[in-house]
């Protein structure tokens, strides 16, 4: 079996400087010798079988369990050279193509997210220790792609710029009723309530986020204008002039896209504006990486634009604007990695070394998916009327030029039990 793995590695690694030591001590070199040397050592004789069936799952699990280590380089440099060689349109062998087709055919089962299952999926990731998120996120706990105006922006600056950028696209006026679908720890909702005078209703499926968000609103004196509910978006009633959703659509699942956009249409007033911020795929429809689906985001899927647009059209909504953020999330993830590594000992105290390796693999693999693997972020602005937004994009830059720095609210960590 190792000969098959060796052949696959030789076909994949055309560039880079990778050496693999198999469980019997045999060494093989791959790539053209350029770049930082990476020496990967395998300790599990069964790795070959696992790798041939599901490469991403096999590598991730072997790294988590310590069955894959590095004599030179680390998991980030290995994933960098791997994703760079895979590229956007790399073709796998016949066996892998067949497996990919089967996963595409069965992906609807994995993405079936009725309300109860959606609650469980969110709890799997977002109801971890609040302390964990404080160890690698910004002070406001913005757990989504930041907006970098320069590559040198720190994470707090870039996340504040993200909130301001979204506010500009929402065209808010005082008193506008705004629905925040997937409101996180409340940072965006509080920002929009304070800076634009919006009347904010936030919904989340995370009990921890729900509790912290409302306590932050009370502490900021905004409880009368920013309310957060433990509720699925499908259970929301009423009408809203503005709707925003950041980093939540990835959890909807392709089976429910029609349901999502129809609900968006029903909740939006006739002159309303909605902005959707979501991870997406530049290479077209695909499947969620098996390791990510199993360990990080069960039921999750990042859509291609083509998979979203058809449902927007059928819901009777206009697409007023689309912006594609390409490397912004790669830069966000790199900053999260750096913070995580600085605080690795504290994460190990919360959980264990295996968890640290799992989280490290998640952050590094995600960064490389945005650097090399065709993942991007879409910001899609929608309305019911053609004239709901201005003729040109000038209003976005005008708003950002006059908007002061983001207001400071008490950090979520001040409200942890």
Give the lowest-confidence range in 4-18, 176-190, 330-344. 4-18
Tokens at residue 314, please?
């059928």
Q: How many CB atoms lie within 10 A of CB 34?
A: 9
Tokens at residue 320, please?
């007023």
Q: Please state the rounded mean pLDDT for residues 133-146.
A: 96
Tokens at residue 387, please?
């004239």
**DSSP tag of 185:** T
Summarised one tens digit per residue, pLDDT across range 85-120 is 987 334 455 544 544 554 555 555 555 556 555 445
Distance CA 194, CA 188 (A): 10
pLDDT of residue 94: 52
Q: Please state the rounded mean pLDDT for residues 132-149.
A: 96
Distance CA 120, CA 345 (A): 29
* The model's pTM: 0.90
Strand order in the sheet with 226-230: 226-230, 199-204, 177-181, 240-246, 268-281, 375-383, 318-325
Tokens at residue 190, please?
């509080």
Q: Where in the chain do CATH 3.40.50.150 domains reside?
A: 115-415
Maximum separation of any 2 CA atoms in the chain, in Å: 69
17 to 31, 73, 194, 373: CA distances (angstroms): 5, 10, 52, 19
Q: How many CB atoms lie within 10 A of CB 404?
A: 7
Yes or no: say if 358 and 125 are a contact pair by the CB < 8 Å rule. Answer: no
Q: In whole angstroms, what separates CA 273 from the centre of its chain?
A: 23
**DSSP letters for 331-360:** HHHHHHHHHHHHTHHHHHHHS-HHHHHHHH
Reduced to 3 states, what is the DSSP secondary structure of residue 178?
strand
Q: Is the per-residue pLDDT at 124 higher than 50?
A: no
Q: How many CB atoms lie within 10 A of CB 42?
A: 21
Yes or no: say if 201 and 267 are a contact pair by the CB < 8 Å rule. Answer: no
pLDDT of residue 372: 94
Q: Is the per-residue pLDDT at 405 higher than 80?
A: no
* Vertex 280 angle, CA 337 and 212, to 5°: 55
Q: 149: closest CA among 137, 136, 162, 163?
A: 162
Q: Is the per-residue pLDDT at 352 higher than 60?
A: yes
* Vertex 130 angle, CA 250 and 156, to 5°: 70
Residues with Cβ within 8 Å of 342's Cβ and at least 6 positions away in sequence, in order, are none
Residue that wins the pLDDT comparison between 12 and 369: 369
Mean pLDDT of the chain: 90
Q: Is the per-residue pLDDT at 136 higher than 80?
A: yes
pLDDT class for 10, splitting at 50, 70, 90?
confident
Alpha helical stretches, state H, 140-201: 155-170, 187-196
Tokens at residue 408, please?
């400071």
Q: Please state the rounded mean pLDDT for residues 392-398.
A: 96
What fold, for 115-415?
Answer: Rossmann fold (3.40.50)
Query: Helices 353-371 and 328-342, interaxial angle, to 10°?
Result: 160
């Amino acid at each position: 079996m190792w000969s098959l793995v060796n052949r696959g590695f030789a076909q994949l690694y055309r560039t880079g400087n990778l050496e693999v030591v198999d469980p019997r001590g045999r060494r093989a070199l791959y790539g053209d010798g350029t770049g930082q040397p990476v020496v990967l050592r395998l300790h599990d004789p069964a790795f070959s079988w696992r790798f041939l069936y599901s490469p991403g799952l096999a590598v991730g699990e072997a790294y988590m369990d310590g069955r894959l280590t590095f004599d030179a380089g680390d998991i980030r440099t290995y994933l960098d050279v791997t994703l760079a060689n895979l590229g956007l349109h790399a073709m796998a062998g016949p066996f892998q193509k067949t497996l990919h087709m089967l996963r595409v055919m069965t992906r609807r089962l994995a993405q079936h997210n009725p309300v109860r299952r959606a609650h469980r999926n969110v709890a799997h990731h977002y109801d971890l220790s609040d302390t964990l998120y404080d160890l690698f996120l910004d002070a406001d706990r913005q757990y989504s792609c930041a907006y970098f105006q320069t590559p040198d922006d720190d994470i707090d600056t870039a996340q504040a710029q993200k909130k301001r950028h979204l506010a500009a696209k929402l065209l808010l006026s005082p008193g506008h009723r705004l629905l925040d679908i997937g409101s996180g720890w409340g940072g965006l909702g509080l920002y929009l309530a304070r800076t634009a005078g919006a009347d904010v209703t936030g919904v989340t499926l995370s009990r921890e986020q729900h509790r912290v968000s409302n306590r932050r609103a009370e502490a900021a004196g905004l409880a009368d204008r920013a309310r957060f509910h433990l509720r699925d978006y499908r259970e929301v009633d009423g009408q809203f002039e503005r709707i925003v959703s950041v980093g939540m659509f990835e959890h909807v699942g392709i089976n429910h896209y029609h349901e999502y956009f129809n609900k968006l249409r029903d909740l939006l007033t006739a002159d309303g504006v909605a902005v959707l911020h979501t991870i997406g795929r530049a290479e077209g429809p695909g499947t969620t990486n098996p390791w990510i689906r199993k360990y990080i985001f069960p039921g999750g899927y990042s859509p291609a634009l083509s998979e979203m647009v058809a449902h927007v059209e059928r819901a009777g909504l206009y697409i007023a604007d689309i912006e594609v953020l390409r490397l912004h999330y790669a830069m966000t993830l790199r900053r999260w990695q750096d913070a995580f590594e600085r605080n690795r000992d504290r994460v190990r105290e919360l959980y264990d070394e295996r968890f640290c390796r799992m989280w490290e693999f998640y952050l590094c693999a995600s960064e490389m998916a945005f650097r090399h693997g065709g993942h991007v972020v879409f910001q899609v602005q929608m309305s019911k009327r053609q004239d709901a937004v201005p003729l040109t994009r000038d209003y976005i830059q005008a708003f950002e030029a006059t908007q002061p720095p983001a207001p400071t609210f008490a950090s979520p960590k001040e409200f942890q039990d």
